Every structure is written in C-alpha cells, then in structure tokens.
Amino acid sequence: MMKVSLIVAMDRDRGIGRDNDLMWHLPADMQFFKDTTKGQVVVMGRKNFDSIPEKFRPLPGRLNVILTRNKNFHAYNCLIFHSLDACFNHFKDEENRVLFIIGGGELYRLALESSYLTEMFITTVDKAYVADTFFPPFNEEKWARSKIGFHEADEKHEASFTFWHYTKK
Ligand SMILES: NC(=O)c1ccc[n+]([C@@H]2O[C@H](COP(=O)([O-])OP(=O)(O)OC[C@H]3O[C@@H](n4cnc5c(N)ncnc54)[C@H](OP(=O)(O)O)[C@@H]3O)[C@@H](O)[C@H]2O)c1
C-alpha cells in the first residue's frame, strides 16, 4: 500500500520561497531533508525542479518525480507525470518507498487536498521573511503533531527552527 508524506520548511508567515528560490540557508534543515527522503520517491512541481541548481539535480539517491502540464517536458533520470492522480496511480502498489511531496506551493496545495496524504514533516523557521510562495493552511484538528527536534540559531544558521512530525488522525 502506497504511503504519501510531505516535507516542507516554512517561516513565521508560512512563507516557503521567493523568486523561485529558498529564502534561507539552513544546513541542518537541508541535512534533515536529505536524511528523511533518502532512498524514497520525491515528487515535485516543475518550478521546484527548475529551482534546483543543475549540478544537484536530479536529487541523488532518490527517485525524482516531476509534475508538469507540459507534455513535451523531459528531464534526465526523472519520471514525469501530468497529474497527481496519474502519479499516485503509478505508485499505488509501492511497498518499499514512501512518496514524499517536496513542494513547491502548488504541489503542497494538491497534496493537502488528497486523502492519500497521511504524514507531514514541517520545519518552522523562527523568522519572518518576505515570501511570494506559501504553505497552505490546513485543518490542524485532523492531524496529531509531535515535536521531533529543535535547532538553535548559530554562526551557520541565521534563525532557530523546530522540526514537527504530523500524522493524520
Ligand atoms: N521551503 C520549502 O520547503 C520549499 C520546498 C520546495 C519548494 N520551495 C519553493 O517553492 C517555490 C516554488 O513553488 P511554486 O508553487 O511556485 O511551484 P511548484 O509547486 O514547484 O511547481 C508548479 C508547477 O507544477 C506543475 N503543476 C502544478 N499543478 C499541476 C497539476 N495539477 N498537474 C500537472 N502539473 C502541475 C506546473 O508545471 P508546468 O508549469 O510545467 O505545467 C506548475 O507550474 C520556490 O520558491 C521554491 O524555492 C520551498
């Protein structure tokens, strides 16, 4: 049975990005993202894929899946789908790997509307940036939340941040 999860980092205003880029450099959160998604399937919007520097994509050690409406879109070593339903249908019998929705904003919105989404990893960054892309609000009452980590601001991290794990009730 397919398992669908989501991973995101957002600021105090739910901001996740600006000018098709991240707004911060937080190596410990990047490491958390790498560790959590390693060996799994990562599902991303075409804009998110474009935002990853060419030398870092496809993200290594994970099957990279891209959603686009463009039927002519191709990317080396990536799987392309034209709807989230088609993607979920392809992986419906996946037993070993978790499907991680890794953004951006449009993909998170689609995932939050899907009944397949049963788990979320949310990093909350303790700072307000000026974002143009946001993580959508969702019904917190339908989710159980636990704090799984905290990182202080330090010379490599301009803000403190907390790691949260959500499971669908
Ligand atoms: N903080 C975080 O954790 C985090 C994580 C990831 C990304 N981000 C940030 O998020 C921003 C990008 O997010 P975004 O919302 O602009 O774009 P996005 O969600 O990455 O990608 C949007 C694209 O996905 C495709 N798409 C969307 N819905 C679709 C559907 N129903 N069927 C088929 N294809 C579909 C379309 O591609 P086509 O236009 O090709 O048709 C659309 O333009 C960047 O700033 C990035 O840095 C932040």
Q: What superfamily in CATH does domain 6-168 come from? A: Dihydrofolate Reductase, subunit A (3.40.430.10)
Extents of the domains making up the chain: 6-168
Ligand 1 atom nearest the C-alpha of 23 is 47
Other CB atoms within 10 A of residue 127 CB: 16
CA of 157 to the centre of ligand 1 (A): 26
pLDDT in tens, 107-160: 999 999 999 999 999 999 999 999 999 999 999 999 999 999 999 999 999 999
pLDDT in tens, 50-102: 999 999 999 999 999 999 999 999 999 999 999 999 999 999 999 999 999 99
Q: Whose CA is nearest to atom 15 of ligand 1?
A: 105
Q: What is the pTM of this model?
A: 0.98
Q: Determine if ligand 1 sits within 6 Å of the CB of residue 104.
A: yes
In the numeric block, which tokens belong to residue 62?
A: 């994970």
Q: Determine if ligand 1 sits within 6 Å of the CB of residue 69.
A: yes
Of 13, 10, 7, which is closest to residue 22 (Cα–Cα)?
Answer: 10
In the numeric block, which tokens belong to residue 76?
A: 């080396």
Q: Whose CA is nearest to atom 13 of ligand 1?
A: 104
pLDDT in tens, 29-47: 999 999 999 999 999 999 9
- CA distance linking residue 31 with residue 44, whole number of Å: 18
Pocket test for ligand 1, best of 32, 46, 66 (most atoms within 8 A of CB): 46
